[in-house]
Amino acid sequence: MFDKLESVEKRYEELNMKISDPEVIANQSEWKKLMKEHADIEDIVEKYREYKKVVNTIEELKEMLNDKEMHDLAQAELDESKEKLPKIEEELKLLLVPKDPNDDKNVIMEIRGGAGGEESSLFAADLFRMYSMYAEKKRWKFEVMNLNETELGGIKEASIMITGKGAYSRLKFESGVHRVQRVPETETSGRIHTSTATVAVLPEVDDVEIEINPTDLKIDTFRSSGAGGQHINKTESAIRITHIPTGVVVECQTERSQIQNRESAMKMLRSKLYETELEKQNSELAAARRSQVGSGDRSEKIRTYNFPQGRITDHRIGLSMFQVDEFMNGGIDEMVDALNAADQAAKLSDE
């Protein structure tokens, strides 16, 4: 570990020189890349320097123990410094765990009703509300890009852009099948039903990360459906883009102009193609996959919401919580923290 820390500190010093070089600054794309690398390792270097400072202090205090007048004071400070070291070592190990390069990115989230008929659509609507309230608590922007509702107020499918600091790092483990057990509003006999909804969380992808050939795209326009006043039904502002090589289809119909809908649809398409590429890489890297809390597979049942018992259980980490109402009102931080902690622990054990 300490050899690695030495090399990281050396690289940090190199970067300090480079980002101050006028020639590098003149090349803005290169400068931004180096600045990002500098910021990514800065916390590690600062913590390592703190560690070395404490080690040096311990050596100095050991020498002071030979001084009778300073012995007691030196011993007290020595004991205190020795207590600090294990904590700093643990912090260093965590900082050295490879960071997900997508953690700071915005999120494109897709929510769909699954098995269970109308009740699954109603549950999808509840999840939509839960994530919108969570985004509000985090002061993130929650922007609906596409929404297909049912007559009873459920959601067949929804696509949302969530913009804010650390959005992907907090939401990435929400991908998968969410199962609900409750008495549906449509049920007259009071029987408990089980139904599902699926959630997909994709990082927003920059143009440079995914190259899309315009000749590979089939773009259709159509009239938007659903609520939105007269304008939404009169003009063909909605956009459907099909990526011919992969068959991936995206739609956006919530903006008033065709240009805005097209821009939003292209963001969704880039993220979907990026996800497809990541899935391909993950299937080739089985060992890396073991160190994740979940694969992000949409077919993986990740969580059960049991309303009669007031319980939410995440099956990946075996954690149950008993505040279902608070949870559905966006109070999901405790679960998110536990999932991130479990993922970090798994990665540490794989190191």
Question: Does the pLDDT value for residue 234 go beyond 60?
Answer: no
pTM above 0.75, yes or no: no
Question: Does the pLDDT value for residue 294 go beyond 60?
Answer: no
**Site of tokens 């700071």:** 104
Domains in the chain, CATH or no CATH each: 2-96 (no CATH), 107-208+287-350 (3.30.70.1660), 214-282 (3.30.160.20)
Percent of the chain with pLDDT over 70: 87
Q: What is the pLDDT of residue 197?
A: 95
Taking only the tens place, the pLDDT of each residue in 141-169 is 999 988 889 988 899 999 899 999 889 99
- What are 141's strand-pairing partners? 163
From residue 216, give the alpha-carbon distance in Å to each of 97, 208, 219, 245.
38, 17, 10, 7
Tokens read off for 10: 């050396």
User: Of 246-255, 279-288, 296-305, 336-345, which gets the smallest average pLDDT?
Assistant: 279-288
Taking only the tens place, the pLDDT of each residue in 179-208 is 999 988 767 677 888 999 999 898 887 655
Taking only the tens place, the pLDDT of each residue in 94-104 is 788 777 778 88
Query: Residue 243: left if φ>0, alpha if ψ -120 to 50, beta else—which one?
Result: beta
Residues 329 and 130 sit within 8 Å (Cβ to Cβ): yes
Question: Does the pLDDT value for residue 288 go beyond 50?
Answer: no
Taking only the tens place, the pLDDT of each residue in 308-327 is 999 999 999 999 999 999 99
Q: What is the pLDDT of residue 312?
A: 97
The whole-number average pLDDT for the span 243-267 is: 83
Q: What is the pLDDT of residue 296?
A: 46
The whole-number average pLDDT for the span 165-178 is: 93
Taking only the tens place, the pLDDT of each residue in 23-57 is 999 998 889 889 988 988 898 999 999 999 999 99
- Among 162, 169, 101, which Cα is nearest to 137's? 162
